[in-house]
Amino acid sequence: MKPQAILCTCHGLPEPAFERACTAGAHNVKTCFQHLGCLPQCGDCAPKVRKVLGDHIARQSNGAAGAAPLPTKPS
Ligand code: FES
């Protein structure tokens, strides 16, 4: 199994931890850390966390664009 790259070295958090935080509703760097039970320290990882957030939002947008249309009421 490939070791996970650490995204936040201050807390030893890998990228999948931030992806899970996004899935759980985090919408910015601060709320990502809150979902992970900590607060950002040095902030060096913030650009990478924003990238994870942006990629998550893009995947959601693509999913919504490809979603089936809502059913219409029968007339
Ligand atoms: S590397 Fe994430 S807060 Fe320092």
Domain ranges of the chain: 6-62
Q: What is the pLDDT averaged over residues 47-51?
A: 97
Candidate of 15, 34, 45 to mutate for ligand 1, largest count of ligand atoms within 8 Å of Cβ: 45
Model confidence at 74, pLDDT cuts 50, 70, 90, reads low
- What's the burial of 61, exposed, middle or buried (CB within 10 Å: 0-12/13-18/19+)? exposed
Alpha helices in the chain (DSSP H): 15-23, 29-35, 46-65
73 or 44, higher pLDDT: 44
33 C-alpha to ligand 1 centroid (Å) = 10
∠ CA 48-7-3 to the nearest 5 degrees?
135
Angle at 45 between CA 44 and CA 48, to 5 degrees: 135
> From CA 11, how far away is CA 33, in angstroms rounded?
10
Class of the CATH domain delimited by 6-62? mainly alpha
Would you state the pLDDT for residue 66? 53
